[in-house]
Amino acid sequence: MEGGRETRTRAILVDDQLVFRLGLRLFLSRALPEVVIMGEADSAAEGIALAERVRPDLAFLDASLPDTPVAEMVRHLLGVAPHCRVVVLANLPDRAGLTPALSAGAHGCLLKTIAPEQLVSVVRQVIGGGRWVQPELTDRFARDPASGEQAGASSIEPDRPLTSREMDVLRLTAAGYSNAEIAKELGISEQTVKTHLAHLMRKIDVRSRLQAARYAISRGLVEV
């Protein structure tokens, strides 16, 4: 709040699908009234021109614009508006385009099929300074056979680093240990294990032990 008034986030939509833009605009106006859409564009060139005029705080960017690779578009947007938070929206989990977009500075990367309530949470997290990648995309990157290295591992990291104890709990969880076994292994109480597990799952934005295990495996924290 500033001067007793709600702070507004100035946003733009860059997507070549008119129906999707209209739907997203309508949804945001209802679910996130603090986000004000200042303009729309259906191409990279128009998107850059719009960003130059508006200097947005937030940009929703289609991952598959026909005229410019998404990573290049992210760099252009941040060059025009360095403070802008960029959320990339993808139809498919295409690692070839999404990983470079994250490396170029995108703050969020998600599928257009994301649940509406989750989209609200993600947008607020990104506006607040966080960085978020949809877990389904993380899993896809980890499984991608096109590269011998851990796909996307250098780009997809939690905004708050895990503590050494949280890292221990994550490794043992991924190795298949139960909470009781982790407690015995680390010499701590089972309740403390549960607390560490809850904290680390929030940090890496997963909702189950299986997703946490996949996260650890994709980053080479455990052997499989």
Q: Tell me, yes or no, whether 63 and 118 share the same domain.
A: yes
We report the CATH number of the domain holding residue 189 as 1.10.10.10
Asked, for residue 73, whether it belongs to a domain, the answer is: yes
Q: Tell me, yes or no, whether 169 and 104 share the same domain.
A: no
Is residue 151 scored above 50 in pLDDT? no
Query: End of a domain among 114, 143, 172?
Result: 143
Q: Tell me, yes or no, whether 192 and 127 share the same domain.
A: no
Q: Tell me, yes or no, whether 136 and 191 share the same domain.
A: no
Q: Tell me, yes or no, whether 121 and 17 share the same domain.
A: yes
Q: How many domains does the chain have?
A: 2
Query: End of a domain among 109, 143, 177?
Result: 143
Q: pLDDT category, 195, cuts 50, 70, 90?
A: very high
Distance CA 19, CA 104 (A): 28
191: containing domain: 164-218
| Rounded average pLDDT over 109-121 | 88
We report the CATH number of the domain holding residue 22 as 3.40.50.2300
HEC profile of 120-132: HHHHHHHHCCCCE
Question: Which range, 9-18, 59-68, 85-94, 206-215, has the best average confidence (pLDDT)?
Answer: 9-18
Instruction: Count Cβ atoms within 10 A of the Cβ of residue 215 and give its class: 0-12 exposed, 13-18 middle, 19 or more buried.
Output: buried
Asked, for residue 104, whether it belongs to a domain, the answer is: yes
Q: Tell me, yes or no, whether 65 and 132 share the same domain.
A: yes
One-letter amino acid for residue 144 of the chain = D
pLDDT of residue 30: 94
Distance CA 138, CA 109 (A): 10
| Rounded average pLDDT over 50-73 | 93
| Token representation of residue 193 | 């294990």
| Token representation of residue 200 | 């680390």
Q: Tell me, yes or no, whether 185 and 95 share the same domain.
A: no
Where is average pLDDT lowest: 12-21, 79-88, 121-130?
A: 121-130
Distance CA 165, CA 167 (A): 5
Where is average pLDDT lowest: 45-59, 81-95, 131-145?
A: 131-145
pLDDT of residue 152: 38
User: Which has the closest alpha carbon to 9: 60, 78, 56?
Assistant: 56
Q: Tell me, yes or no, whether 36 and 72 share the same domain.
A: yes
Q: Tell me, yes or no, whether 186 and 131 share the same domain.
A: no
pTM: 0.63
Q: Tell me, yes or no, whether 22 and 132 share the same domain.
A: yes
Question: Which range, 23-32, 109-118, 137-146, 215-224, has the best average confidence (pLDDT)?
Answer: 23-32
Q: pLDDT category, 187, cuts 50, 70, 90?
A: very high
pLDDT of residue 143: 46
Q: Tell me, yes or no, whether 214 and 105 share the same domain.
A: no
Query: How large a percentage of the chain has pLDDT more than 70?
Result: 80
